[in-house]
Structure 1
Amino acid sequence: MKIVVVAALVSLAVMAGAAAIIGLATAGLTYDSIEKIPHRRVGLLLGCSRMLSGGRANLFFAHRVEAAAELFRARKVDYLLVSGDNRRKEYNEAGDMREALIKAGVPAERIYCDYAGLRTLDSVIRAREVFCQDEITVISQRFHNERAIFIGMHNGIDAIGYNAADVDAYNSFRTRCREQLARVRTVLDVCLLSTAPRFGGEKIEIGVQAPVLSNSY
């Protein structure tokens, strides 16, 4: 029993430490105000599923798309890079977000998709290595933005974040729990393991080359 208690306490301490490291490192780099956030040429919209397993609409998806469209309309970004998971033919986070952005009034030619954003780490690092961006505005909820910015800091990317509206505690409980583990993994990935994205790819210069509309990794 004592071993279990000690293991639980150590786990909590590790999660609290990782959360503190990321929170302190990224303090002041996320914005809630459309008026105050500086202009960046490219906004990186982090993908998630359109629908939840029970068939309900995913509020994280809706709020992120709304925030990205708001940034574009306010001319705080010129292009949007949508990065998400597309490992299965029937599941396409980037494609779904692109479609939603077009419905929200963002011109199709201003939207680039990264279909190999399997993890936040992949999305952020590929924004530099594949899409040639070393300065970006990350678009997601605050907790997710902080983790993405932290990854960028350790990979030569000057990143700030625009915070999409949050999701209530009832509908975000599981996501919040996963986030604590994700922060531990992120600190290990960038500070100790130097983890690289799973996929590389030919370079695509945003605003120079046309967007690729199908899986390209």
Structure 2
Amino acid sequence: MKFVGFKTIFKFRKRLMIAAGFCLIAGVLFLWGADRAVAAARGRIFSAPELIPPRDVALVLGTSKQAKYGPNLYFRYRMDAAARLYHAGKVRKLIVSGDNRRRDYNEPEDMRAALIERGVAPEDIYADYAGLRTLDSVIRAKKIFGQTRITVVSQKDHCERALYIARNHGIDAVGFAARDVSLRRFRLKQRWREAFARVLAVVDVKLLHRAPRHLGPPVPIEFQE
């Protein structure tokens, strides 16, 4: 029976550590590159209605109304921003796009109700029930609702990612940044989630050319002149 010597084991461990080091460096560089690619949209994001160029339609990206700690502030601030944009006359119609996979969970209907409470006319709200991911919401705004010039409403970091996806799918988009959540523990968690979401966005757009999970018949948005 032949035993493996200590030198052989040492060499194997050394090579394994070197390979792991290269993988770590490559991963960090990819994270950094994805972040830079997505952040290029920063100059097209606005936080004041008077500064943002007018568009016919805003895409309001969905999130849960409730969080583990209580009402979801990301949801509340996002609805506030969408209503503010609408009442300033900067958009005429709103697409509320979110998840509706479970019978007891319906982001678009929650958003619709919240916007109506904020004075948005019901006939100016269009619900997208298949916005399972940001990529789905953005592409469906074009493929289903026929919009190639939109304003995206969400928090700033999320807007950057949505605008990156839009640019790579032939959509002329600007972003309207909702107020962010200032609590440190939530911001830190969100930053980590956003970092990996940006990597996934780049992979989806540049490598996998991923399409929305669901498409369907067109839904024309009607404007009264």
TM-score normalised per structure 2: 0.88
Q: Report 1:136-155 matches (<5 A).
A: 136-155=150-169
User: Is 1:51 aligned to residue 46 of structure 2?
Assistant: no
Q: Which residue does the alignment assign to 1:75?
A: 89
Q: Which residue does the alignment assign to 1:10?
A: 26
Q: Report 1:47-126 matches (<5 A).
A: 47-54=62-69, 56-126=70-140
Q: Which residue does the alignment assign to 1:201?
A: 216
Q: Which residue does the alignment assign to 2:6?
A: none
Q: Flag structure 1 segments of 5+ consecutive residues without an equivalent.
A: 209-217
- Equivalents in 2 of 1:27, 1:173: separation in Å? 20
Q: Which residue does the alignment assign to 1:42?
A: 57
| SS of residue paired to 1:36 | coil
Q: Given the alignment, which residue of 12, 23, 26 partners 2:39? A: 23
- Percent identity between the two aligned chains: 46
- Equivalents in 2 of 1:190, 1:109: separation in Å? 33
Q: Which residue does the alignment assign to 1:192?
A: 207
- Equivalents in 2 of 1:176, 1:97: separation in Å? 24
Larger Rg: 2
- Equivalents in 1 of 2:28, 2:107: separation in Å? 32
Count of matched residue positions in the alignment of Structure 1 and Structure 2: 207
Query: How many Å apart are 1:83 and its aligned residue?
Result: 0.2
Query: How many Å apart are 1:98 and its aligned residue?
Result: 0.6
Q: Which residue does the alignment assign to 1:176?
A: 191
Q: Which residue does the alignment assign to 1:214?
A: none
Question: What is the CA deviation profile of residues 167-210 of structure 1, one whole-angstrom value per residue up to 9, with x for unaligned ones?
Answer: 123223222211111101111111122110000111011126xx
| SS of residue paired to 1:197 | coil
Query: How many Å apart are 1:140 and its aligned residue?
Result: 0.2
- Equivalents in 2 of 1:83, 1:154: separation in Å? 19
- Equivalents in 1 of 2:100, 2:187: separation in Å? 23
TM-score normalised per structure 1: 0.91
Q: Which runs of structure 1 show a deviation greater than 4 angstroms over 4 or more consecutive aligned residues?
A: 3-6
- Equivalents in 2 of 1:65, 1:123: separation in Å? 16
| SS of residue paired to 2:96 | strand
Which has more helix, going by share of residues?
Answer: 2
